[in-house]
Copies of this chain bind each other. A is one copy, B any other.
């Protein structure tokens, strides 16, 4: 079943069919409709390969992402995929889980010649990596981090940190800790640095000195959060409130607190970032963002770029403080102190 079959069935030339199907001008509406109908009846579809080969687009957008199965990344991909699907664009996945895969991706560029655009999720590229990406000669957009000079959409992580800390300050907390994240290989996500900056500047403006013991860096995730809180509880003097890098980190922190026999928020206030689906169930106060929405906008950005429109280049989305029951004013005289030794896994 080729375009020629449709052409002869319609009694026209292939070029007419091509024009009709691609939506290009130069065909009468009558002919176009007839050809569409016949195409339908015959169940014919244009071969994307042949189409691309002779000058068209690939109709594909590639996603470079650290993981697929974590909430943030999955949500971004889901949002973008929905939007792109509406435009008939397929999404191809290029996971770069660790530094080896990452180096390999930018070295070999497996997406070369396979996509019309690349979307990079939430990790900062080195100059070399940008150079490689640019060498592909396709559009590139960053989602999750607003990036200067690049089409990008994300939240402003300094503000995220401020919102969280301002809330704790407003409640009366002065001894505030932070559990931030580094990736297993020691590099940074960029959001970690920015959120910590927000944390520090909010405290500074409030005239509160940062106790460096209160800032711990762990591996991202529930387990990391659990370990981070264990470290804080081991301090001779503990904070009365903790800002966790993300909700999942906060969940881990909650686990450690619970297993230590401590109550949130009475013994310790806790605030996260994301508004993860579980946050409501856990009564976790958080700075909400919508990765799904970010993905959708990234998709729209891509579509705009591909259509040679000139869409706005840097889009920053607002985040909002969502107050639940994990934060409360500090209780004078009450201070977190493990009532039971933390379980082994938390140490």
Contact = CB atoms under 8 A, between A and B. Distances in A.
B53 A49 contact: yes
A52 interface: yes
Which secondary structure characterizes the binding site on chain A?
mixed
Interface of A: 43, 45-50, 52-53, 58, 60, 67-71, 74-75, 77-78, 81-82, 85, 88, 90-95, 97, 109-110, 112-114, 135, 222, 226, 251-252, 254-255, 277-278, 280-281, 292
Number of copies: 2
Contact of A222 (B58, B93, B277): B277
Nearest to A112: B45
Contact of A93 (B69, B71, B93, B94): B93
A50 to B, nearest CB: 5
Contact of A278 (B47, B110, B222): B222
A332 to B, nearest CB: 28
Determine which residue in A52, A69, A292 has the highest number of CB atoms from chain B within 10 A of its CB, and name it: A69
B48 A113 contact: yes
Contacts of A71: 69, 71
Contacts of A109: 45
A46 B108 CA distance: 12
A324 to B, nearest CB: 12
A90 B85 CA distance: 17
**What are the 8 A-B residue pairs with the smallest beta carbon separation, nearest first?**
A69-B78, A68-B78, A69-B74, A74-B74, A49-B52, A255-B281, A49-B49, A69-B75
